């Protein structure tokens, strides 16, 4: 009986030893990795504020003056037209959707620009000039745009971008006058101040520079079409009769500007953890 007990204990020890050896032959379990942050996460999202200042080289495509009581036997043609350049300042707010797409809403004030147009009156049959009308005035504008941009990649902190915008331009015309020259010398008319809003649109291109995690500077070009400008009705003196109505067709500007974008939240740093390997 005692021999049987010794044999049973010896068999149990041998079986346990064999099981331990078999466990040593199994492959190790796969490593367990800590979660990895794949992209920066911004606290509060991608909202930003922006400010811009610049200068616009402005132009008018056509100056149109419609006479209420045209003199018979004459044709009228604008010989020259011009308008001053403008300085503008703007503010806005926007959102950065991802690394390449963003959008913002901007509003800007453009300083007053003086305009003039010289209209020649000629005999219809002979073409001989009889006189001139010199139209002058001043335009101040407010422009609001909704813009969308595509950032085209970043190299050494510099990001080229393109964009487009659409919105409204509000023009206020003041000091609009009509002065007769040569054969019309002595004639004079004046228009009351006039304001009107219309469609505006823009095309953008430029470069952005990453100054810090929150601040980006921009050097940009913009083509801005501010639509038509209604200059109002000219009242001829001394009787204050309605002589004519003036309009500026396709008032546009080639703008150069410097801007700043201030991100309202800093991106959180991306931290990659080392894999955690458990030993068995």
Mind listing the domains of the chain with CATH numbers? 48-263 (2.40.160.20)
Does residue 271 register a pLDDT over 60? Answer: no
Higher pLDDT, 241 or 97: 97
User: What average pLDDT does range 187-211 have in this prediction?
Assistant: 92
The residue ranking higher by pLDDT, 69 or 198, is: 198
DSSP 185: T
Residue labelled with tokens 């001394």: 238
Residue 254: the pLDDT is 97
Rounded-to-integer distance, Cα 196 and Cα 239, Å: 27
- 70-87, pLDDT tens digit by residue? 666 667 788 888 999 999
SS3 at position 87: strand
Q: What are 141's strand-pairing partners?
A: 110, 171
Is pLDDT larger for residue 102 or for residue 124?
Answer: 102
Supply the pTM of this predicted model: 0.75
Contact call for residues 47 and 265 (beta carbons, < 8 A) = yes
Residues 6+ apart with CB under 8 A from 101: 148, 149, 150, 151
């Amino acid at each position: 009986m005692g021999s049987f007990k010794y044999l049973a204990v010896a068999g149990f020890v041998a079986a346990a030893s064999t099981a331990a050896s078999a466990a040593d032959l199994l492959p190790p379990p796969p490593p367990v990795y800590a979660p990895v942050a794949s992209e920066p996460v911004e606290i509060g999202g991608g909202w930003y504020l922006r400010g811009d200042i610049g200068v616009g080289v402005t132009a008018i495509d056509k100056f149109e003056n419609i006479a209420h009581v045209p003199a018979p036997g004459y044709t009228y043609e604008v010989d020259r037209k011009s308008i001053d350049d403008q300085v503008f300042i703007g503010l806005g707010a926007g959102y950065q959707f991802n690394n390449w797409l963003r959008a913002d809403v901007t509003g800007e004030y453009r300083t007053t620009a003086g305009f003039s147009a010289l209209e020649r009156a000629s005999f219809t049959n002979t073409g001989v000039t009889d006189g001139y009308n010199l139209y002058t005035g001043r335009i101040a504008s407010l422009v609001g745009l909704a813009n969308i941009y595509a950032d085209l990649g970043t190299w050494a902190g510099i990001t080229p971008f393109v964009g487009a915008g659409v919105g409204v331009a509000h023009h206020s015309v003041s000091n609009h006058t009509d002065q007769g020259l040569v054969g019309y010398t002595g004639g004079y008319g004046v228009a009351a101040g006039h304001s009107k809003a219309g469609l505006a649109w823009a095309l953008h291109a430029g470069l952005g520079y990453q100054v810090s995690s929150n601040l980006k500077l921009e050097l940009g070009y913009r083509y801005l079409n501010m639509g038509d400008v209604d200059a109002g009705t000219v009242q001829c003196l001394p009787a204050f009769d309605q002589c004519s109505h003036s309009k500026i067709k396709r008032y546009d500007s080639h703008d150069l500007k410097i801007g700043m974008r201030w991100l309202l939240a800093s991106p959180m740093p991306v931290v990659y953890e080392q894999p955690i390997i458990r030993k068995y």
